[in-house]
Structure 1
Amino acid sequence: MSAASATGSPRSGGNSRALLLMLLLPGLAALTVTFLLPLIWLLRASFASDTTSAFGGGDVTLQSYRAVLFDPFYWQVAWNTLVLGFNVAVPAVVLSYPIALFLTRTTSRFRGVLTALAVAPLLTSSVVRTYGWMVILGDRGVINSGLQALSLTGGPVRLSNNSLGATVALVEILMPYAILAMLSGFGRLNLQLEEAAAMLGANRLKVFTRIILPLSLPGVLTAALLVFVLAISSFVTPRLMGGGRVFVLGTEVFNEATVTLNWPLAAALSVMLLVLFSSIILLYQRALSALET
């Protein structure tokens, strides 16, 4: 057998690369049309002088970025967005962790059904679930009606139309995403390591803290990142559950684009949100690299 036939001819290697490129082209084209071109337009619109010039032409100005960077209100909005994302990500991951761990470990024949039930809320619109939380947490909702019927409160407890209601609703809405992320990230768990630790005298707490938790941390970080990003980019739930009193970047982008029709400012706020996304992803990559080393 010749060396060329043993290692493959250069022509076959070129054909393989051409085939891979052809397979990539549809995805690259779709990504360009649906993401890259809108992102370029968004950047261009953020430098426009008014809404009309945001669609092309007109002067290039930094007035929208000046409004965003030098107005304390928008800094407070950015801070509210980060706080909301943190307040949602932490309880969502904490509540989802035992569910994901159970679904990973269980050998029940109903495992598929249980997994489907855990992520079944994704089949319902977030708008519908948000309205459900409005019914539950409203001043005349299920919880307040129950508390007043038991004479535990003299009046309705403010559970909605504030950041608390938005946080509670977002935690429930985003928990299925956290469960899915952790299910896919718990592949490093090894039952044999746990059995070996137990044989060496480690109790269940030590097995969890020394073996299960460290091996599952990459999945936990992925779930936290996903929930955090979805929370800070949410609009419907903060808008409805906040009752117009919760100001985050998502709601402000909507207001500037549809109410005041200030598209350049809306684009600048969107760029600010993208910067937050990028910063969080960089922190996630650093944390993941630290865990792997």
Structure 2
Amino acid sequence: MSATQTQQLQAVRSGHTLGELEKAKAARDRRTYIALLLLALLGLLMSFVLPLAYMVRMSFNAGAPDGVIIETFTLDTYIQPLTDHYYWRITRDTFRMGVVVGILCVLISYPIALFLARTTSRFKGLLIAIAIAPLLTSAVVPTYGWMVILGTNGLVNSSLQGLGLIDVALKLTNNMTGVTIGLVEIFMPYAILAMISGFGRLSPQLEEAAGSLGASKFKIFTKVTLPLSLPGILTAFLMVFVLSISTFITPRLLGGGSVQVLATEIYDQTAGLLNWPFAAALSVILLVLFGAIVAVYQRITKKIGGS
């Protein structure tokens, strides 16, 4: 007996027409979807919207030197970071760090992601697992590893001095150089995953067609492969940029207190100075910076999609 015949039999037994049963089923499905949607919205409200609203409201309070929060409505917490050169420099360094780490991650991860997306090896799953395996560990572990590798007596300096390439150890920690190296290695798996998922527009047939028309491999890459993989590249850059400007552990440990970015300054204002309103204002500024980059990303992707 087919499904239609079964429904007709059920309609006859219940005294309803088939159309009435279908309407009842559609109404029941609609109620289920609405219930699930309300649950999702409630979870989003409790876990994101309310904490964000609390943070924004906190940013308009005033913080006393003894850590007491004064309930008021003032713009002083925004005026100071927007007028003080020190905080302009922190914001600039945060933005620059995110851009540099994002670009380096994309450049290094692109060949790996392209290979993993194209390979037909039976070990493809294993290779992808190896590429993203660092995600299984906390960022603290590779950060401490880089502190040992890049230290004054670490592996890099010891090897270069042993080969006679340098006489004085290079300063690779407690500065932005070490932080950048550490962040690039930590966030490469995110870039690889983002690019693999964004390579859906890549078509081997188009590359074969370009080759059959006499295009060189370099021209095929620059005119076909690279333009089609741009959405994945932009997604990877955005993800790494957002993670970089909001990270705290690596700038604090590899920076050794010499590297100040918005995340470390927010922590110092919260845990050290107990100035929660000012920390909230810096968090809002970080959120605005992130929103500006997302807006630019959407504009570029829309332009690419329309071209």
TM range (shorter): over 0.9
Provide the aligned length of Structure 1 versus Structure 2: 288
- 1:181-207 Cα shifts (integer Å, max 9, x gaps): 001000111111111111111111111
Ranges in structure 2 where 5+ consecutive residues have no aligned partner: 1-16
Q: Give yes or no for contact 2:98–2:244 (8 Å, CA) kept in 1.
A: yes
Q: 2:99 aligns with which of 86, 93, 104?
A: 86
Residue 16 of structure 1: how far off its partner (Å): 3.0
Task: Specify the SS of the correspondent of 2:62.
Answer: coil
- Contact 2:69 2:276 (C-alpha < 8 Å) held by counterparts: no
TM-score by length of 1: 0.94
In structure 1, the partner of 2:130 is 117
Deviations along 1:90-115, one digit per CA (max 9) or x if unpaired, are: 01001100100000110000000000
Opposite residue 256 of structure 2, the aligned amino acid is G
Report if the CA contact (8 A) 1:122-1:176 is conserved: yes
Residue 243 of structure 1: aligned partner: 256
RMSD over equivalenced CA pairs, Å:
1.8
Pair 1:185 & 2:198 matched? yes
| Equivalent position of 1:261 in the other structure | 274
**Secondary structure in structure 2 of the residue aligned to 1:245:** coil
Q: Distance in 1 between matches of 2:150 and 2:278?
A: 34
Find runs of 4+ consecutive structure 1 residues off by over 4 angstroms.
Answer: 4-13
Q: Residues 40-119 of structure 1 correspond to what in structure 2 (within 5 A)?
A: 40-50=53-63, 51-53=67-69, 58-119=71-132
Which protein is bigger by CA-based radius of gyration?
Answer: 2
Residue segments in structure 1 that go unaligned for 5+ positions in a row: none
CA contact (8 A) 1:46 1:267 kept: yes
Over residues 2-35 of structure 1, what are the superposed CA-to-partner deviations in whole Å (9 max), with x where a residue is unaligned? xx96799665544333221112233222211111
What is the rounded CA distance, in whole Å, between the counterparts of 1:5 and 1:53 in structure 2? 65
Aligned to 2:47, which of 34, 41, 49?
34
Residue of 127, 138, 158 corresponding to 1:145: 158
- Can you list the C-alpha shifts for 1:82-138, whole angstroms capped at 9, x where unaligned? 100011000100110010000011000000000000001111111010000000101
- 1:271 corresponds to which of 261, 284, 288: 284
Partners of 1:216 and 1:6 lie apart in 2 by 48
TM-score, normalization: structure 2? 0.89
Per mean C-alpha deviation after superposition, the further-off stretch among 166-175 and 19-28 is 19-28
Identical aligned pairs, as a percentage?
A: 52
Equivalent residue number for residue 252 of structure 1: 265
